[in-house]
Copies of this chain bind each other. A is one copy, B any other.
Amino acid sequence: MARAATTADAFNAVAEPQRRRILDALTGGERSVTALAEELELTQPQVSKHLRVLRDVGAVDVREDGRHRLYRLNAEALRPIHDWVRRYERFWSERFARLDSVIEDLKRQDHRDE
């Protein structure tokens, strides 16, 4: 045993800037490998490899179309990231800060009522 489990999960997939760019591009709809390569100025193997990782974590789906393979976003796979990071929202959001103080007030009131 020598290296941490890199567990090919969504967090890891998305840690790579190029892969984020690919996902961003796919928000515009299906794309072929070549189309992505041109749009993002990457080589074809580069794109294929990154798509492979994204596929493995379920962030994209593929569809055959003649000699093309059309890749499509599957945002569901990003949900765990959203869910995780959302828990930190309260620590920077003014809105949540105000909500917290309201809750504190209610607690204090509860105590007084007892």
List chain A positions with a Cβ less than 8 A from chain B: 4-5, 7, 11-12, 14-18, 20, 23, 27, 73, 75-76, 78-79, 81-82, 84-89, 91-92
CB distance from A91 to the nearest CB of B (A): 3
Q: Is the CB of B88 within 8 A of A85?
A: no
What is the interface of chain A mostly: helix, strand, loop, or mixed? helix
CB distance from A38 to the nearest CB of B (A): 20
CB distance from A94 to the nearest CB of B (A): 12
Contacts A11-B17, A12-B15, A75-B91 known; 16 new A-B pairs at CB < 8 A: A4-B18, A15-B15, A20-B84, A23-B88, A27-B87, A75-B88, A75-B92, A79-B92, A81-B81, A81-B85, A82-B82, A82-B85, A82-B86, A82-B88, A82-B89, A85-B85
